[in-house]
Protein backbone atom coordinates (compact mmCIF):
# COMPACT_ATOMS: atom_id res chain seq x y z
CA UNK A 1 0.00 0.00 0.00
CA UNK A 2 1.32 3.43 -0.87
CA UNK A 3 1.45 6.29 1.61
CA UNK A 4 -1.81 8.08 2.27
CA UNK A 5 -1.64 11.58 0.82
CA UNK A 6 -4.12 14.43 0.67
CA UNK A 7 -4.52 17.45 -1.57
CA UNK A 8 -3.58 20.82 -0.08
CA UNK A 9 -7.29 21.71 0.13
CA UNK A 10 -8.16 18.46 1.92
CA UNK A 11 -5.29 18.92 4.36
CA UNK A 12 -6.28 22.55 5.06
CA UNK A 13 -9.84 21.45 5.88
CA UNK A 14 -8.54 18.71 8.17
CA UNK A 15 -6.17 21.12 9.91
CA UNK A 16 -9.08 23.48 10.49
CA UNK A 17 -11.20 20.69 11.98
CA UNK A 18 -8.40 19.47 14.24
CA UNK A 19 -7.70 22.97 15.50
CA UNK A 20 -11.42 23.51 16.19
CA UNK A 21 -11.66 20.17 17.99
CA UNK A 22 -8.71 20.96 20.24
CA UNK A 23 -10.15 24.39 20.99
CA UNK A 24 -13.74 23.27 21.66
CA UNK A 25 -13.20 19.89 23.33
CA UNK A 26 -9.81 20.24 24.99
CA UNK A 27 -9.61 24.01 25.47
CA UNK A 28 -6.15 23.93 23.88
CA UNK A 29 -4.88 26.09 21.07
CA UNK A 30 -2.66 24.26 18.61
CA UNK A 31 -1.03 25.63 15.51
CA UNK A 32 -1.32 24.47 11.95
CA UNK A 33 2.06 22.73 12.08
CA UNK A 34 1.01 20.63 15.07
CA UNK A 35 -2.32 19.78 13.42
CA UNK A 36 -0.53 18.69 10.23
CA UNK A 37 1.83 16.58 12.33
CA UNK A 38 -1.20 14.83 13.88
CA UNK A 39 -2.72 14.24 10.44
CA UNK A 40 0.52 12.69 9.19
CA UNK A 41 0.78 10.54 12.32
CA UNK A 42 -2.80 9.28 12.05
CA UNK A 43 -2.46 8.66 8.32
CA UNK A 44 0.70 6.64 8.87
CA UNK A 45 -0.21 4.77 12.07
CA UNK A 46 -4.00 4.47 12.05
CA UNK A 47 -4.88 5.07 8.40
CA UNK A 48 -4.12 1.48 7.33
CA UNK A 49 -6.73 0.18 9.81
CA UNK A 50 -9.42 2.39 8.28
CA UNK A 51 -8.21 1.56 4.77
CA UNK A 52 -8.36 -2.17 5.44
CA UNK A 53 -11.81 -1.84 7.00
CA UNK A 54 -12.96 0.06 3.91
CA UNK A 55 -11.66 -2.75 1.70
CA UNK A 56 -13.43 -5.33 3.87
CA UNK A 57 -16.71 -3.39 3.69
CA UNK A 58 -16.38 -2.98 -0.08
CA UNK A 59 -15.73 -6.71 -0.45
CA UNK A 60 -18.85 -7.49 1.59
CA UNK A 61 -20.99 -5.22 -0.60
CA UNK A 62 -19.49 -6.72 -3.76
CA UNK A 63 -20.16 -10.25 -2.52
CA UNK A 64 -23.79 -9.37 -1.72
CA UNK A 65 -24.28 -7.79 -5.16
CA UNK A 66 -22.70 -10.78 -6.90
CA UNK A 67 -25.08 -13.07 -5.00
CA UNK A 68 -27.98 -10.93 -6.26
CA UNK A 69 -26.66 -11.23 -9.82
CA UNK A 70 -26.52 -15.00 -9.37
CA UNK A 71 -30.18 -15.06 -8.32
CA UNK A 72 -31.21 -12.90 -11.28
CA UNK A 73 -29.28 -15.18 -13.64
CA UNK A 74 -31.10 -18.20 -12.23
CA UNK A 75 -34.44 -16.48 -12.82
CA UNK A 76 -33.49 -15.98 -16.47
CA UNK A 77 -32.93 -19.68 -17.06
CA UNK A 78 -35.35 -21.32 -19.48
CA UNK A 79 -36.96 -24.62 -18.63
CA UNK A 80 -35.47 -27.55 -20.49
CA UNK A 81 -37.32 -30.39 -21.95
At 20-52, the pLDDT tens digits run 999 999 999 999 999 999 999 999 999 999 999
The values of phi and psi at residue 4, to 5°, are: -80, 125
Is 25 a domain residue? yes
pLDDT of residue 1: 61
Both 40 and 14 in a single domain? yes
CA pair distance 61, 58, nearest whole angstrom: 5
Domain that holds residue 65: 47-81
Average pLDDT, the chain: 93
Both 40 and 58 in a single domain? no
The pTM (predicted TM-score) of the whole model is 0.69
Summarize the confidence of residues 54-73 as an average pLDDT: 95
How many Cβ atoms are within 10 Å of 4's Cβ, its own excluded? 15
Both 36 and 60 in a single domain? no
Amino acid sequence: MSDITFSPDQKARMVSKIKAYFDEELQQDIGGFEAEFLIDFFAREIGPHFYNRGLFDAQQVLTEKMDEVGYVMQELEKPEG
